[in-house]
Amino acid sequence: MRLSDFVLANQVVVPLRHDTILGAAGALIDRLVAAGTISNVEKLRSRVAEESPEDIVAMGERAFLLHYRTDAVTDLRVALGTSEQPICRELGENETQCARIVLLVVAPPRMAARYLQLVGAFARLLSKQTVVDELLAQSDAASLAALPVFTDYELPAQLTVRDIMTDRPMTVAPDTDLQDAARDMVRLGVGGLPVVDAGGLLIGMVGERELLQSLTGYLQGGRGEGPRSPGVPAPRPTVREAMTRQVLCVSPDQPIADVSSMMTNKDVDRVPVVRDGRIVGMLTRGDIVRKLLGH
């Protein structure tokens, strides 16, 4: 499929007559309503009004890319608009983001794979100033939708976990002192470590939640091992005592869209990638987002 399959003249607004991101998004939603794509318009408007950073990508001063995977829509659709004046979004005290192009991508949850491909394709396309200039030069919706840049852009092949994962991640042994594991996590800037046995098999994960629970118990005087002689310190906890053994694992050959959906549904930030029980990589939500945006 090509981008021209999604950039349709009846879903393009030229010019957008709004100076805020919410106003522009509302105009694009109106186009999708007219196209019969949205099953619950109020639910979608409410989602957009949240202005969640996870749903809005600012492409410098070139464009805003708004993307939503929600059951408020029945099909994967794109609405695109350009403005003669900058459209701005307030970020905080004396800080704004402004651009003249707003792109809205919506999809139902079942279309996660194509949704990821489409958002990534548009993010890469709008990172090119020449493309942005060409879009802004069009005076009507029909000429914008007919641009060769959309016809020539074929969507990339489906990504797999192998394309994104971090190879050869750091692991920890089960008998490692838990405080040493915590120091390693801080030093590496990671939120969790896979635990492997002497044979290299994955047997668990230790993350910030497990660290907090175990170390808090240790600092409060142990974990109920019974009375100790005066002056005898509580035994220092190990990774084995703190780790979780119920680990969500993925294969390097799984489609990244399926894994992303699974991680979201199970509220998991990172998963080990395994083959034959042995860890071959790690995948985090941040890895997926960075790849999605072409970084």
Task: List C-alpha distances in Å: 254 to 86, 283, 287.
Answer: 41, 12, 15
Closest by CA to 30, choosing from 46, 14, 13, 18, is 13
**Containing structural domain, residue 276:** 162-218+235-292
C-alpha to C-alpha distance for 249 and 202, rounded to whole angstroms: 10
20: Cβ–Cβ under 8 A, 6 or more apart, which residues? 87, 88, 89
Which is nearest to 247 in space by CA: 276, 205, 275?
205
Residue 277 DSSP class? T
In the chain, the DSSP E strands lie at: 12-13, 56-59, 63-69, 77-92, 95-107, 166-167, 192-196, 202-207, 270-275, 278-284
Distance CA 67, CA 116 (A): 10
184 and 125 housed in the same domain: no
Cα–chain center distance at 281? 18
Residue 136 and residue 37 in one domain = yes
How many whole angstroms separate alpha carbon 119 and alpha carbon 104?
9
> Can you give the pLDDT at residue 295?
44
Token duo for residue 46: 């409410």
The tens digit of pLDDT for each residue in 177-223 reads 998 998 998 888 888 899 999 988 999 999 888 888 876 766 655 55
Its pTM surpasses 0.85: no
Q: Where residue 93 falls among pLDDT bands split at 50, 70, 90?
A: confident
pLDDT of residue 225: 52
Query: Number of folded domains in the chain?
Result: 2
Q: What is the mean pLDDT of residues 156-178?
A: 86
The reported pLDDT for the residue numbered 201 is 94
Q: What is the pLDDT of residue 265?
A: 84
Based on the fold, state whether residues 124 and 12 are members of the same structural domain.
yes
Mind listing the pLDDT tens digit for each residue in 234-289? 567 899 988 999 899 999 999 887 888 888 888 888 999 999 999 999 998 888 87
Contacts of 37 (CB under 8 A, 6+ apart): 73, 74, 75, 77, 106
Q: Which has more confidence, 44 or 90?
A: 44
Answer yes or no: is pLDDT of 229 > 60.
Answer: no
Rg of the chain's alpha carbons, rounded to an integer? 24
**CATH code for the domain in which residue 58 is found:** 3.40.930.10
Task: Please tell me what DSSP assigns to residue 15.
Answer: S
SS3 at position 176:
coil
Co-location of 183 and 86 in the same domain: no
Q: Work out the angle at residue 68's Cα, subtended by the Cα atoms of residues 261 and 27, and round it to the nearest 5 degrees.
A: 170
**pLDDT tens digits, 58-76:** 888 999 999 998 999 999 9
Same domain, 197 and 129: no
- Do 188 and 85 belong to one domain? no
Residue-wise pLDDT for 126-159, tens only, equals 989 999 999 999 999 999 999 999 999 988 677 7
Q: Is residue 39 over pLDDT 80? A: yes
CATH code, 267: 3.10.580.10
Same domain, 277 and 208: yes
